[in-house]
Amino acid sequence: MTDKPRVLLTNAIHPQWRPVLQQHCEVVVADDTTPATLARLVAHVDGLIVRAQLAPDVFENATRLRAVVRHGVGLDMIPVAAATVLGIPVANLPGSNSAAVAEYCIAAMLHLRRGLAGIDARLRSNGWAAARPLADGGAELGGSVCGIVGVGGVGTRLAAAAAGLGMRVVGLTRRPESLPAHVTATTKEALFAQADVVVLCCPLNDRTRGLVDAATLATMKPGAILINVSRGPVIDTAAVLAALRDGRLGSAALDVHDRQPLQGDEELFNAPRLLLTPHVAGITATSMEGMSRGAVETMLALLRGERPSNIVNPEVFLGPHR
């Protein structure tokens, strides 16, 4: 037996930081992330580090649980309201993967604008003469318009990178007064109508669910690019696929999806001019180390009874709960 607090990891964390956590805690890694497994394990731990979707009722029998830390930023994986009712503090790691996501967006833009993967494949299979003409259809980012929906941590970094490439940047945000000088505030209608590249970086909520529907897609420029690093339900996936097939949308990159993981039988896999990735925009060796460091440090602070500044429900400290 051990008197150390027990911490559950829904998924493995960076190998550099698991031993640090183990110095102070008994560490359990979930065998799988099904609702039944996680509910069973959460009932017997003091802390939870989250990298997988939690069920709405996951905390019902978690009588020992004293701390929940998101290994990342997005809180839609965690039933925060339920944790708050039970007096369980929840923390996330703002900005921990912003650089990785912003760089993914730039990489996706370049991939879709320049078609380097196709040129490489044609060169290898058909030779120099067959591959070289493919470059004629490429387009430069400089001088085009980048529209960013949600200019928070990721959007701000992306705006700086896009401006550095010579793009004109417009942004849609609830707080236009907070935009950097190189980002022009605009409306949803104006952004989609004028942008050559639209990047969705916004959180998923009642205002953003279904934000990009068929009517919105119909207002976009011919040949425009759509990149989604937000959450799958921010777009109407069927409408995006129809716009790609009909040629009304130039191309798209989707890192997040309505149902995750993808099974391989979705219509997405048959769509033209579509870059598909498995929710990896924020994952690099660099960001994983940083997120694991932040998650471990925050968890240990909470278990010591401290109140880190990255708590998302500080009201749990204001009164009695369970």
| Bond from prior residue into 222 cis (ω within 30 degrees of 0) | no
pLDDT of residue 235: 98
Residue 225 shares a structural domain with residue 307:
no
Q: Residue 1 domain-assigned? A: no
Residue 102 shares a structural domain with residue 114:
yes
Residue 113 shares a structural domain with residue 244:
yes
If you compute the radius of gyration of the chain from its CA atoms, what whole number of angstroms results?
22
Judged against a pLDDT cut of 70, whether residue 264 lies above it is answered with yes
Average pLDDT rounded to a whole number, residues 240-263: 96
Using pLDDT thresholds of 50, 70 and 90, give the confidence band for residue 28.
very high
The alpha carbon torsion through 77, 81, 85, 91 (nearest 10 deg) reads 60
Residue 232 shares a structural domain with residue 124:
yes
Range of the domain at 112: 98-276
| Per-chain mean pLDDT for the chain | 96
Cα separation, 271 vs 269, in Å, equals 6
Cα separation, 195 vs 176, in Å, equals 18
Q: Residue 213 domain-assigned? A: yes
Sheet holding 197-200, edge to edge: 183-185, 168-172, 145-149, 197-200, 225-228, 251-254, 274-276
In this structure, what CATH number is given to the domain that contains residue 60?
Answer: 3.40.50.720
Count of other CB atoms within 10 angstroms of residue 59: 22
Residue 124 shares a structural domain with residue 265:
yes
Helix (H, G, I), strand (E, B), or coil: what is residue 187?
coil
Q: Residue 309 domain-assigned? A: yes
Residue 223 shares a structural domain with residue 238:
yes
Domain count, the chain: 2
pLDDT of residue 3: 87
Residue 76 shares a structural domain with residue 143:
no
Task: Dump pLDDT digits (tens) for 73-127.
Answer: 999 999 999 999 999 999 999 999 999 999 999 999 999 999 999 999 999 999 9
Judged against a pLDDT cut of 80, whether residue 46 lies above it is answered with yes
Residue 16 shares a structural domain with residue 66:
yes
Average pLDDT rounded to a whole number, residues 33-39: 97
The alpha carbon torsion through 238, 244, 247, 252 (nearest 10 deg) reads 140
Residue 90 shares a structural domain with residue 129:
no
Chain centre to alpha carbon of residue 189:
24
| Residue 234: both structure tokens together | 């921010």
Judged against a pLDDT cut of 80, whether residue 196 lies above it is answered with yes
Residue 222 shares a structural domain with residue 271:
yes
Q: Residue 322 domain-assigned? A: no
Task: Dump pLDDT digits (tens) for 197-208.
Answer: 999 999 999 999
Residue 140 shares a structural domain with residue 225:
yes
Residue 16 shares a structural domain with residue 148:
no
